[in-house]
Structure 1
Amino acid sequence: MQKLTSYLAAMAIRTMGRLADHTPIKASPPADAAVRLGLPWNFAWKSEARKARLLAARRTASVVAE
């Protein structure tokens, strides 16, 4: 029973850590850096596919502006 309890506690801690890593925080350094680069503040927490689409749209907009 002791092993099961420690295993469940370890799983709970890992799960909470993963959730904390993926929770967007507007006042965090990654959010500030994204805003300085002209990206949405939650850019660091978006999926890789969504990041690629945003960057492609940004490149297209900068080429059109030139």
Structure 2
Amino acid sequence: MKQVVIIFWSFIFGEVIGAIGGALEVMTYKPLTIGIVAAVAALITSNGISLLSKSDSVK
């Protein structure tokens, strides 16, 4: 369930940040691409942090 929440919120935040960044940089805004990249980056980051903290607590 945690993964679904991460995907949902990272997609939303990615869209907001992409729209603002696209307007500031005068670039085209591709909503689906930005949302997918944000979701994948958030999943990799959250799982990486989780794995690193588990390996620390095993000692």
TM-score in same-fold range (> 0.5): no
TM-score (norm 1): 0.37
TM-score (norm 2): 0.41
Higher helix share: 2
